[in-house]
Chains A and B, each alone.
Chain A
Amino acid sequence: MTITKSNENGKITLSLDGWLDTAAAPALGAEVEAIEAADEIILDFDKVEYMSSSGLRQVVAAHRKAKELGAEFTVCRVHNEIMSIFALTGLDKKLNVTEA
């Protein structure tokens, strides 16, 4: 999967493209870890077709990072299939997740 990072005045958007599976999860983890300061962290899921629990863990890690930096955290443009996994695990209520 590819991850595109943009930073607009502290509003950091990570746009994900592809499968957020076990193989891809560490890359997202590294990107999130690399963020040093932010007002807002956004994960753009528009092009994510698939997410496994290891991917989900990195989303949770990003949420914790944002909390640590005192930044807002949003997962946006989540498609139905992925949304069902957020819903299944109850994370749609615990994280700020918005549908596509």
Chain B
Amino acid sequence: MTHSIAKKVTARISVILIIALSVLFTASYFLVRDIISKNLKEQNEAMVTIYSDLVTEEAFSKDAAFDENFAENILARGDYICQMFKIDFAYLFVPLEEPGKIQYVCVSQNKKFDAYNPNDKFINKIENYTLTEDEIAVWNGEKDISTSITQSKSGYEVSTMVRVQDPLGNYCMAGVDQSYNGMNREIGVLLAIISLTILLVIGLVNLCVYLIMRRSVSAPAQKVCRVMNEFLTDGERSDVKLEVEGDDEFAMISSAFNSMSADISDYLANISRLTHEQEQQDAQLDISARIQRGFLKDTYFEANRCVIHADMIPAKHIAGDLYDYLQIDNSRFLTVIADVSGKGVAASIFMAVTLMLIREFAKMNLSPAEILSKVNDTLSENNPSLLFLTAIVGIYDSDKKTYTYANAGHNLPYILSSKVTPLAGEQNVLLGLFPGEVFTENTVKLETGDTLFLYTDGVNEAVNADKQFFGTGRLEAALQEFITAKKENPVDFVNRKVADFVGDAERHDDITMLCFSPAETEHLVLEAEEPAFETLKNKILSLPIPRKEQLNLCLAAEEIFMNICAYSYPEQSRKGQVRVLIALSNRVTLRFTDTGIPFNPTRDPINPDEYDVDTQIGGLGRFIAFNQVDDAKYEYKNGKNILTLTKYII
């Protein structure tokens, strides 16, 4: 809830004025009363002087004493004075010896006085009256005059006295009394009229203040508010403007608001444009990244007689690293790993070109050294940006069980057997800068059970939050741990180690790894029906591995195969097929592929503790199967259920 400034100001002014007025009223009341009583006193003193002069003059002119005759004589003249000067009483008295008693000589009265009684002349009448200190002082001649003012409900009573003397030397007190009834009421009425008038004036002034405030403060403020709200609701509208009127503060605010709103509108428009551009750029980068990812082969591949695991994790959207492999002919298999200097779009283009060149040259039956040499010459010919790359190109010959490789300035790979061995050999110069370079190559023997591990420097140069490198020490330790643990594959294993090491720190370089293991592979295509398992069973039983391992694998294979037969193709009329890959290296890999309904058997296997032998039937098969092998991995890809079981042969 808001309150108008005009109302607030008016209300405050009213309160202040009313308080001021109350103070003023009270002060005026007392001041006026004071002035009036002072005037009364002066007036009464003048009256008593006149009366006493009259008395003294009368006494001395007639040589008379203050006796009854004198009283009769002076009485009528006193009455006259009372009447003329609007005095209530004029009197002469003598204080008696007895305290509190006086004896009047005579008392003149005003005929208009309420209590006037023409017969009551008070001559020689004794009354009760106690003189005030002042009056005693006057009687004793210590003071000339005394005036006492007593307040009554309706006003004042003023008595003024002096001492007079007759020719005989007798003293007498002469006094006049005046009462001023109704004075308080009169003052009150007068002040009330004044106050009401002032209140009326205040009201009018306040009304004016309110109207002026409303016109020149509240209304413009509300307008500014409304326009600002309008702007807030639709900030992109550049036509939301305040009219600039006059040269007051509101004109300044309006002017400032107008330039601010214009700035904000521009700013928003800019942000919107930049966001749009950024979105477009991101979309482009996404597309680039997808295209680049498309260049790369699958992260897992079974070649004729070797098994490949690889992975590339870009630091940013798009990478400068690459891995590749290619079955050149029945016995020869090409592997490539490379790292382009720099990252981003330029590096990715350079990477794509290099990839295409290597694939093309590989198909021309060239040796790894020749491939590198040709790629180097082609890249160096036209490389204005002076990009370059390091690479290892190798060819595995499954007949000879040899790996021949040429290294262009790349990190030395490792051979993983029972231990981790760096693969020695000349590193040569990197690619892309020096045409005509000759590359040397080396050949090593790779036995079944060995694994060749290639990587880019993104692995050993991965940095954690404490600015430490992962380093080749940790890499070799991880690889050794992998050999001992006999779990999954070295690529995933090292990837996890690096990820754990780096934590939340920003990644600076692409991480690429490729490993391949010579393997005996066999592909079976089986009908998804129970009897077909016999073929798979015989193949497993013919593998050159211990009987115990054969039986474990056979059990796993049977459970999985029967599972597929039972559930993958529910429509009886359309029995499908199951493709089974059997690969033997330092492990046995069984890969089941079917095109049936998607089903992940690794999810929610049964809990044997909750298995009720009396009511439940089946459900234990998958659980048994996964317990016979070291690793089970499921993926659904291109409409296929792919389940890979791995058992390490120790």
Contacts and interface: CB of A to CB of B under 8 A. Distances in A.
Most buried by A among B534, B551, B558, B618: B558
Nearest to B534: A23
Interface in B568-616: 608-609, 611, 613-614
Sorting the interface of chain B by its residue count into under 10, 10 to 19, 20 to 34 or 35 or more gives 20 to 34
Contact of B530 (A23, A57, A60, A64): A23
Given A53-B620, A81-B548, A90 B562 contact: no
Contact of A89 (B530, B554, B555, B620): B620
A35 interface: no
B621 A53 contact: yes
Given A89-B611, A94-B613, A56 B558 contact: no
A68 to B, nearest CB: 11
A91 interface: yes
18 contacts: A22-B530, A22-B533, A23-B531, A23-B533, A49-B551, A50-B551, A52-B559, A52-B562, A53-B621, A56-B620, A57-B617, A67-B614, A85-B624, A88-B623, A88-B627, A89-B624, A90-B611, A94-B613
Contacts of B614: 64, 67
A50 B555 contact: yes
Contact of A50 (B554, B562, B609, B617): B554
Nearest to A59: B613
A21 interface: yes
A60 B613 CA distance: 6
A90 B609 contact: yes
Contacts of B562: 22, 52, 54
Interface string B548-561: 10010011001100
Interface string B492-533: 000000000000000000000000000000000000001101
Given A88-B623, A89-B624, 6 more contacts: A23-B531, A23-B534, A50-B555, A52-B555, A53-B624, A64-B614
Contact of B613 (A23, A49, A53, A95): A95
A91 B613 CA distance: 8
Nearest to B609: A90
B524 to A, nearest CB: 17
Nearest to A85: B624
Contacts of B608: 88-91
Q: Which 7 A-B pairs have the closest CB atoms?
A: A53-B621, A90-B608, A89-B608, A94-B613, A52-B558, A53-B620, A89-B620
A57 B555 CA distance: 15
Contacts of B533: 22-23
Contacts of B555: 50, 52, 85
A54 B554 CA distance: 14
Interface string B269-291: 00000000000000000000000
Contacts of B618: 53, 57
A89 B623 contact: yes
B126 to A, nearest CB: 137
Contacts of B609: 90
Interface string A72-100: 00000000010001001111001100000
Contacts of B534: 23
Contacts of B611: 89-91, 94
Contacts of A94: 611, 613
Nearest to A49: B551
A67 B559 CA distance: 28
Contacts of A52: 555, 558-559, 562, 621, 624
A53 B551 contact: no
A21 B531 CA distance: 11
A53 B559 contact: yes
A64 B623 CA distance: 22
A95 B132 CA distance: 132
B502 to A, nearest CB: 38
A49 B617 CA distance: 23
Contacts of A21: 558
Nearest to A64: B614
A49 to B, nearest CB: 7
A57 B618 CA distance: 6
Contacts of A60: 613, 617
A57 to B, nearest CB: 6
A53 B608 CA distance: 13
Interface string B227-246: 00000000000000000000
Nearest to A94: B613
B581 to A, nearest CB: 21
Contacts of A23: 530-531, 533-534
Contacts of A89: 608, 611, 620, 623-624
Contacts of B551: 49-50, 81
Contacts of A57: 617-618
A54 B534 CA distance: 15
Most buried by B among A49, A52, A67, A91: A52
